[in-house]
């Protein structure tokens, strides 16, 4: 099915890379032939980055759920699609075949439709990591509703912002979710988020934890009371190639998260192409991505990439350190996992326990290891290689972003060389360039600069929901006709890319993206805060930690209490992942004459630098630096 466009050698990689950029229409047109279309496209690619406007396979009609399910049911209905490992290791895992997946997805689609969900409506999904989350996502795709999954760690206020932004009419949630030793209320958080939103028609509630929840009459419905009466067939709705498949909110350099919109055909093909090539997936293998479906990694590499390739995708409800730090290794042996895709922050958190825990497991089923989310440090790379891969299998370091839909720069497992800490080579279709501030190409090896992409690939962001101007401003305005990644990078002598990390006001905390402006807005909600500035600093486990410098009112004397209040406030407004690691009360911030905070200086202080702050001539008052330094954390 995908074998004909899977890259089998280094030579082929080079040929495909060249062809994909020289004649993208021919290259992607050939690949698109391998999917199920209800109507073939008129034109493979039509684009310009000025507006921006990118159309792939325009004029085509297809349904993503049909491509992810039905075509494999036809080959073998009993083939396993989804393997689910519960939070509690003593709870039985579930194995769901492609036929069962089809039945469940159809029932969910019928249930949604019976309550008024129609094509192009927005449906919020706020659930734990249970198979029903996958059913809900694919049911939306089947009936043409646009799903927006919200990570189950986000607070009521964050959820409300997103629901209002996308004007969702329906919500699918659970009573609660298990995460390690904790049981998190989801339904009550939803209740808080939507209590004054009259446009919400229904909240569908899955029973998972069986905790007590409040059901609002006429609005809230139990899924178990509706689902059995639904037919297990739902005709896949014909969607246009460029119809939005989903919205996923992510942080940027402004205060408000933006709704990244992905398309139907282009996104699906990109998720599929990158999945089969980067991981060198072979039919019959079991793929385990440890991400949460609330993030893009879960969308593309738990759901859409693997299922569109007919793979068995393993979904884990819990966390790697519970009930103990052997959990991932135990899951790998138990389910004979072939591909493990995880994040550097997870590797570092397991490294702390040493070499002993993984040594109790064979891990022989593994063929490929992957990492994503942040630059992987050398030590973590080697630990992963030696202790999990037993130095016998490739590691793919995959660089990409919510906005790119799928992997952009990565070695291909066993096909192109890996190089520790380097994402290495761009995938076919990805024209990656390094640019200096004037927009000039920076070609010399080891010269760090900004990473741009100058041609469209099928999975590129189409817009930010209901705010196309923002999409243009955020991604297409820095240099004309270029997609701006916001990341810094350099290449080595062989043109392998090494990604350094964000060069905009975005932090990467444990692989999660947080805008400094978003954090500052939350902190500034505290009545005693006058002004705040947030920067990132190197953190052993999280990659980056959050350091907040805060000016508070003179009348505030109990700084410890205020620090605690601010941490709680940020948790309430954004979620636990956003809690600052360090909070320092200051009397002033380093500002330029035009009133801009010089974050560069604060970043250096947060990194532990005591001097060498560079050019300070534009500062109004250089004395604030000494004052901040005197109490630096
Ligand atoms: C940012 C995107 C893409 C899925 C998870 C995060 C950083 C991601 C790598 C990598 C170095 C990486 C970048 C990027 N990043 N993967 N392999 N090496 N940095 O998605 O929340 O959209 O964040 O994560 O800084 O811009 P995201």
Cis before 323? omega within 30: yes
- Chain-centroid distance of CA 476 in Å reads 21
Question: Does one domain contain both 264 and 401?
Answer: yes
pLDDT tens per residue, range 570-585: 999 999 999 999 999 9
The pLDDT value recorded for residue 592 is 85
What average pLDDT does range 383-412 have in this prediction?
98
Ligand 1: which residue has its CA nearest to atom 8? Answer: 373
Ligand 1: which residue has its CA nearest to atom 18? Answer: 375
Question: Does one domain contain both 225 and 246?
Answer: no
Beta bridge partners of 514: 507
217 CA to centre of ligand 1 in angstroms:
42
The pLDDT value recorded for residue 252 is 80
Per-chain mean pLDDT for the chain:
96
The pLDDT value recorded for residue 594 is 78
What average pLDDT does range 227-244 have in this prediction?
98
Beta bridge partners of 434: 451
What does the longest C-alpha to C-alpha distance in the chain come to?
72
Question: Does one domain contain both 202 and 272?
Answer: no
For residue 506, the ligand 1 atom closest to its alpha carbon is 25
Question: Does one domain contain both 490 and 598?
Answer: no
Q: How would you label 398-430 residue by residue, b for 16+ Cβ within 10 Å and e otherwise?
A: bbbbbbbbbbbbbbbbebbebbbebbbbbbbbb
Sorting pLDDT into bands at 50, 70 and 90, what band is 131? very high
Q: How many structural domains are present in the chain?
A: 3
What average pLDDT does range 420-442 have in this prediction?
95
Q: How many CB atoms lie within 10 A of CB 12?
A: 14
d(CA 439, CA 174): 49
Q: Which residues line ligand 1 (CB under 6 A)?
A: 250, 296-297, 372-375, 397-402, 423, 485-487, 499, 501-502, 508, 511, 513
The DSSP output letter for 577 is G
For residue 486, the ligand 1 atom closest to its alpha carbon is 26
Choose among 549, 570, 574, 566: nearest CA to 628.
Answer: 549
Q: Looking at per-residue confidence, does 463 or 555 come out higher?
A: 463
Sorting pLDDT into bands at 50, 70 and 90, what band is 13? very high
100 CA to centre of ligand 1 in angstroms:
34
The pLDDT value recorded for residue 1 is 84
Domain assignment present for 352:
yes
DSSP per-residue letters across 390-401: TTSS-EEEEB--
The DSSP output letter for 573 is H
The pLDDT value recorded for residue 614 is 85
Cis before 473? omega within 30: no
What average pLDDT does range 409-420 have in this prediction?
98
From 267, 400, 496, mutation site for ligand 1 pocket: most ligand atoms within 8 A of C-beta = 400
Here the CATH number for the domain that contains residue 572 is 3.30.300.30
Domain assignment present for 90:
no
Question: Does one domain contain both 473 and 525?
Answer: no
Starting at the edge strand found earlier in the chain, the sheet holding 286-289 runs 94-97, 80-85, 312-316, 286-289, 339-342, 368-372, 395-398
What average pLDDT does range 423-451 have in this prediction?
95
Residue 406 has pLDDT above 90, yes or no: yes
Beta bridge partners of 487: 502
What average pLDDT does range 475-494 have in this prediction?
96
Share of the chain above pLDDT 90, in %: 93
d(CA 512, CA 372): 11
Secondary element (H or E) of residue 135: helix 131-143
Domain span at 171: 95-237
The pLDDT value recorded for residue 139 is 99
d(CA 263, CA 405): 9
> Is 0.85 topped by the overall pTM?
yes
Residue 200 has pLDDT above 80, yes or no: yes
Residue 68 has pLDDT above 80, yes or no: yes
Torsion of CA 313, 317, 323, 325, to 10 degrees: 50
Domain assignment present for 84:
no
From 295, 303, 342, 374, mutation site for ligand 1 pocket: most ligand atoms within 8 A of C-beta = 374
Domain assignment present for 75:
no
The pLDDT value recorded for residue 202 is 98
d(CA 364, CA 333): 8
Q: How many CB atoms lie within 10 A of CB 472?
A: 16
The pLDDT value recorded for residue 527 is 94
The pLDDT value recorded for residue 361 is 98
Residue 254 has pLDDT above 80, yes or no: no
Choose among 449, 422, 400, 63: nearest CA to 250.
Answer: 400
Domain assignment present for 342:
yes
Here the CATH number for the domain that contains residue 329 is 3.40.50.12780
The pLDDT value recorded for residue 573 is 95
Ligand 1: which residue has its CA nearest to atom 21? Answer: 513
From 221, 237, 253, the end of a domain falls on 237
Question: Does one domain contain both 150 and 195?
Answer: yes
Contacts of range 613-622, beta carbons closer than 8 Å, 24 or more positions apart: 618/592, 618/593, 619/590, 619/591, 619/592, 620/591, 620/592, 620/593, 621/588, 621/590, 621/591, 622/590
* Start-to-end CA span in the chain (Å): 56
From 237, 254, 288, the end of a domain falls on 237
Residue 287 backbone phi and psi in degrees, to 5? -110, 130
Question: Does one domain contain both 322 and 222?
Answer: no
Question: Does one domain contain both 420 and 360?
Answer: yes
Choose among 146, 82, 478: nearest CA to 289.
Answer: 82
Question: Does one domain contain both 250 and 124?
Answer: no
* Beta carbons within 8 Å of 74's beta carbon, 6+ residues apart: none
Question: Does one domain contain both 162 and 186?
Answer: yes
d(CA 578, CA 574): 6
Residue 593 has pLDDT above 90, yes or no: no
Q: How many CB atoms lie within 10 A of CB 176?
A: 24
The DSSP output letter for 239 is E
From 502, 531, 553, the end of a domain falls on 502
For residue 512, the ligand 1 atom closest to its alpha carbon is 21
Here the CATH number for the domain that contains residue 185 is 3.40.50.980
Residue 616 has pLDDT above 90, yes or no: no
Question: Does one domain contain both 37 and 99?
Answer: no
Contacts of range 408-411, beta carbons closer than 8 Å, 24 or more positions apart: 408/432, 408/453, 408/457, 409/497, 409/499, 410/278, 411/278
Beta bridge partners of 250: 258
Sorting pLDDT into bands at 50, 70 and 90, what band is 612? confident
Choose the weakest-confidence range: 160-174, 215-229, 258-272, 499-513. 499-513
Question: Does one domain contain both 447 and 303?
Answer: yes
What average pLDDT does range 312-339 have in this prediction?
98
What average pLDDT does range 151-177 have in this prediction?
97
Domain assignment present for 77:
no
Residue 557 has pLDDT above 90, yes or no: no
170 CA to centre of ligand 1 in angstroms:
30
Sorting pLDDT into bands at 50, 70 and 90, what band is 312? very high
Could you tell me the CA-to-CA distances from 328 to 54, 341, 391, 409, 528 in Å, in that order?
A: 40, 11, 18, 26, 44
């Amino acid at each position: 099915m995908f074998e004909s466009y899977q890259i089998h050698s280094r030579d082929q990689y080079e040929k495909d890379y060249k062809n994909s950029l020289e004649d993208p229409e021919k290259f992607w047109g050939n690949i698109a032939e391998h999917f199920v279309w209800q109507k073939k496209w008129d034109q493979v690619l039509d684009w310009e980055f000025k507006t921006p406007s990118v159309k792939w396979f325009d004029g085509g009609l297809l349904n993503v759920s049909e491509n992810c399910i039905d075509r494999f049911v036809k080959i073998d209905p009993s083939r396993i699609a989804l393997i689910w490992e519960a939070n509690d290791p003593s709870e039985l895992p579930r194995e769901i075949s492609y036929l069962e997946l089809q039945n469940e997805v159809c029932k969910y689609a019928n249930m949604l439709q019976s309550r008024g969900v129609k094509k192009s409506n927005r449906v919020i999904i706020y659930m734990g990591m249970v198979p029903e989350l996958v059913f809900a996502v694919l049911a939306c795709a089947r009936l043409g509703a646009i799903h927006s999954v919200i990570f189950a760690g986000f607070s009521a206020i964050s959820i409300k912002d997103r629901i209002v932004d996308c004007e969702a009419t329906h919500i699918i949630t659970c009573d609660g979710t298990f995460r390690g030793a904790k049981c998190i209320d989801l339904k009550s958080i939803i209740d808080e988020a939507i209590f004054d939103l009259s446009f919400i028609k229904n909240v569908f509630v899955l029973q998972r934890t069986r905790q007590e929840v409040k059901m609002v009459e006429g609005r809230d419905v139990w899924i178990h009371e509706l689902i059995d009466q639904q037919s297990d067939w739902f005709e896949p709705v014909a969607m246009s190639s460029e119809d939005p498949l989903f919205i996923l909110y992510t942080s940027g350099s402004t205060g408000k998260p933006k709704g990244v919109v992905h398309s139907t055909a282009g996104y699906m093909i990109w998720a599929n192409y990158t999945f089969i090539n980067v991981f060198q997936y072979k039919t019959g293998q079991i793929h385990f991505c440890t991400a949460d479906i609330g993030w893009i990694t879960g969308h593309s590499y738990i759901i859409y990439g693997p299922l569109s390739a007919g793979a068995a995708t393993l979904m884990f409800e819990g966390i790697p350190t519970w009930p103990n730090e052997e959990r991932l290794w135990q899951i790998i042996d138990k389910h004979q996992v072939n591909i493990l895709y995880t994040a550097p922050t997870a590797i570092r958190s397991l490294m702390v326990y040493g070499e002993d825990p993984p040594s109790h497991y064979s891990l022989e089923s593994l063929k490929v290891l992957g990492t994503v989310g942040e630059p992987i440090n050398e030590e973590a790379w080697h630990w992963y290689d030696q202790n999990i891969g037993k130095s016998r299998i490739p590691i793919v370091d995959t660089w990409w972003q919510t906005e790119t839909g799928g992997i952009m720069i990565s070695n291909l497992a066993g096909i192109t060389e890996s190089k520790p800490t380097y994402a290495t080579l761009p995938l076919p279709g990805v024209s990656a360039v390094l640019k200096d501030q004037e927009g000039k190409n920076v070609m010399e090896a080891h010269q760090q600069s900004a990473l741009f992409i100058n041609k469209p690939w099928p999975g590129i962001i189409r817009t930010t929901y209901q705010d196309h101007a923002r999409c243009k401003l955020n991604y297409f305005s820095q240099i004309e006709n270029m997609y701006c990644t916001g990341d810094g990078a350099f290449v080595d002598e062989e043109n392998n890319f090494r990604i350094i990390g964000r060069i905009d006001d975005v932090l990467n905390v444990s692989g999660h993206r947080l805008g400094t402006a978003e954090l500052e807005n939350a902190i500034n909600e505290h009545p005693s805060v006058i002004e705040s500035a947030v920067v990132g600093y190197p953190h052993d486990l999280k990659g980056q930690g959050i350091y907040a410098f805060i000016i508070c009112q003179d009348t505030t004397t109990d700084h410890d209490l205020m620090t605690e209040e601010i941490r709680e406030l940020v948790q309430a407004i954004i979620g636990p992942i956003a809690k600052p690691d360090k909070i320092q009360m200051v009397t002033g911030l380093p500002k330029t004459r035009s009133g801009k905070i010089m974050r560069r200086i604060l970043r250096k202080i947060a990194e532990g630098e005591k001097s060498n702050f560079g050019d300070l001539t534009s500062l109004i008052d250089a004395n604030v630096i000494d004052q901040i330094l005197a109490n630096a954390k």
